[in-house]
Amino acid sequence: MGQFVPEVLCRFDDLATSVVVDAVLKFQSHKMNLNHQPLDPADWKSIRSVLREFRDLLKWLDPTKDAERINQVYKETFDNLLHLRAPFRNTLSFTDDKKIRLREHFFRFMKFWDPNSGFTIRECSRYSREGNRGAALFATRAFKKGETIEGLKGCLAPMTDAEENAIVVVGKNDYSILIRFERRNGCKSTLWLGPAAFINHDCKPNCDLIHRTNKSWIEATRDIRPNEELLMHYGKDCWGINCIECECRTCELGGNGAFTNAATCAPKPQSIPNLRNFKKRRSQEEKFPILSILFISHLKKSKRNQLNSPTTASKKENRHLIAQKPQKGDKFFKTLL
């Protein structure tokens, strides 16, 4: 089908994410069109129902044996989404070729909810640039170092200076631009969208974007465990000089980047659930020492009662119960869809 035109890729990407991603995560993810009109939340329930059926059908199919049936399920699911009409009211004038390309772009994002794809998308609250509400990709199976993460696609669209000026707003939607040092066919920058564009940055990444001519793919740079976030390095100066504004987990743990100063390096209250309660209780202890002693006495008494209770399981039994819990990936699919 050839390369995308930047304007068309932006339009397809905004539409696909608004249906396949936003309806499940229940918030609007990043969009290239800053004036993009989000779907009515009333439509999200219908979309989630279609995607839930899609997931349930695929989990019984073997990709090595049922490739034809799997492809049919993808097509049927896209048709079911089309029947919802509201998300696609602006696509009625598309040519047949354009409709086919739109469907293929939707297929790329639908892999987020395919149990056999090896990856999924979840909400992320790490980055202040996104208002602490964005998305992140996670592995749903193990990947070996050097293995290609099949199905996790990125779409390229070279941009002229005029196209870049018309589309890109610095600090708003410039999250997925590849820059060359030399021009090729009059284009220095390339727009990179698709599902792989949701991979977040980390200073110690576990995968990388491999780009050869008009093809690109994601490759594991070390062994990746199930339920581990997929992370790549955006570039040395992507977050300011020497990544001084970086908010990745590696910088947080090492006290680097945006966490260099002691004030910003302090753990966030939400990352330690009892921190706020502990501080409050400590201030109350200083003001009311007698109440503090009573409170501690009450805790000791409660713990004693729990230990003497016949229903309390032993440590060995507790370990057994923990082992029987469903995996995070399974629980995640059940929760969102």
Look at residue 332 in the predicted model and tell me its pLDDT: 52
Look at residue 253 in the predicted model and tell me its pLDDT: 93
Look at residue 181 in the predicted model and tell me its pLDDT: 42
Percent of the chain with pLDDT over 70: 73
Question: How is residue 291 written in tokens?
Answer: 């109440």
Domains of the chain, earliest start first? 1-116 (1.10.10.1700), 276-330 (no CATH)
Residue 321 has pLDDT above 70, yes or no: no
Residue 326 has pLDDT above 90, yes or no: no
Residue 20 has pLDDT above 70, yes or no: yes
Choice between 235 and 137, residue whose per-residue pLDDT is larger:
137
Look at residue 333 in the predicted model and tell me its pLDDT: 55
Look at residue 113 in the predicted model and tell me its pLDDT: 97
The answer to whether 21 and 11 have CB atoms below 8 angstroms apart is no
- Strands 231-232 and 119-124: what pairing? unpaired
Total-model pTM: 0.76
Look at residue 137 in the predicted model and tell me its pLDDT: 97
Q: How many CB atoms neighbour CB 4 within 10 A?
A: 21
CA distance 259 to 239: 13
Instruction: Of 61, 234, 62, 230, give the one whose Cα is nearest residue 143.
Output: 230
Mean pLDDT over each residue of the chain, to the nearest integer:
79
Model confidence at 180, pLDDT cuts 50, 70, 90, reads low
> What is the per-residue pLDDT across 233-281, written as a single tens digit (0 to 9) for each?
988 878 888 788 999 999 999 999 999 874 444 444 443 333 333 333 3
> What is the per-residue pLDDT across 181-203, written as a single tens digit (0 to 9) for each?
445 566 678 888 999 999 999 99
Burial of 176 (0-12, 13-18, 19+ CB in 10 A): buried
> What is the per-residue pLDDT across 85-104, written as a single tens digit (0 to 9) for each?
878 888 878 889 999 999 99
Model confidence at 210, pLDDT cuts 50, 70, 90, reads confident
Residue 39 has pLDDT above 70, yes or no: yes
Look at residue 110 in the predicted model and tell me its pLDDT: 98
The answer to whether 23 and 48 have CB atoms below 8 angstroms apart is yes
Look at residue 299 in the predicted model and tell me its pLDDT: 38
Q: Please tell me which of 21-25, 159-163, 172-176, 316-320 the model is most confident about, judged by mean pLDDT.
A: 21-25
